[in-house]
Amino acid sequence: MVSNHFDRPTLWIFAGPNGSGKSTVYSDAFLQDFDGSIWIINPDLLTTEIKEMEGLEQQAANLAAVQRIEAWLHASLGVRRSVGVETVLSTPKYRKLVEKARNLGFSVRLVYVVLKSAELQMERIRIRVAKGGHDVPEDKVFGRRKRSFEQLQWFLDQADRVDMFDNSGAAPRRIGEKQDDGTIIVDPSAPGDLIEALQAGTD
C-alpha cells in the first residue's frame, strides 16, 4: 500500500524493466507523505498466490492473474478509487487503461525505475531467485528492457506527474521528472540506452 491525499483519484503506474526494484521504490519514504491508502497490484505476487492457493500451473496462473488484474483495475476506475499497478511496460497494453482513467478525471502518475544495465538486472534477479523469488530468462530480460524503453515516451506524454529513478546503488536516485509545463527532464547520468530511446521517441 501507498498513501494519497488527493481529492482527485489517481492511477499510479510503477514501471520499469525486470529486476529494477519497483516494489522497493514505491514502498520508500517519498510515497508515504499522503493520507489514506492505495491498493498496489503486484502481478508477480498475485501469480504466485494463485499457483499456491489454487494449484494452477504457471501458464494458467499467469492467465488468471492477467484477467483478475484487468478486472480489478477497471472496477477501481469505475468507482473512482485510486489504484496502482506494477508493470515492466514492455507492451502497450496499459494505454487504454490510462486513456480511460484520464477520461474519467483521474490523475495519472508514473514512477519509472531502471538499473544501469541489463547485466545488473540479471544479477538482481539471481539474488531474488536465491531468496525464493521468481526467475526471468536472460533473453526476456534484455528484450523487455529495450521494449520498455520504447514504450516509455507515450506514457511520459500522458502522465500528469512522472518520477524516474536509477535504483542501481544502495538507494534510489532520481534521474528524471516531468515539470509543470510538461517538459521531461532526464539527468545526463541516466543509462545511455534509456536516453537514446527517449531521444528516438521524440524525433
> How does strand 83-87 pair with strand 10-15?
parallel
Nearby residues of 64 by Cβ (< 8 Å), 6 or more positions away: 47, 50, 54, 56
Quickly count helices (H) and strands (E) in the chain. 7, 7
Measured between alpha carbons, how far is 112 from 169 in angstroms, rounded to an integer?
16
Backbone φ, ψ for residue 25 (5° rounding): -70, -45
**pLDDT for 32:** 54
- What is the length of the chain? 203
**pLDDT for 203:** 66
Tell me the average confidence (pLDDT) per consecutive run of 10 residues in the chain, 203 residues long. Answer: 64 95 73 60 84 86 89 95 94 97 96 97 94 88 97 97 95 94 96 95 72
**pLDDT for 40:** 84
**pLDDT for 24:** 81
Of the CA atoms within 13 Å of residue 170, those in its CB half-sphere come to 0
**pLDDT for 156:** 97
3-state helix, strand, coil in the chain (%, to 5): 45, 20, 35
Nearby residues of 18 by Cβ (< 8 Å), 6 or more positions away: 88, 121, 125, 136, 140, 141, 144, 145
Q: Which CATH number fits domain 10-202: 3.40.50.300, 1.10.3720.10, 3.40.50.10320, 3.30.70.270?
A: 3.40.50.300
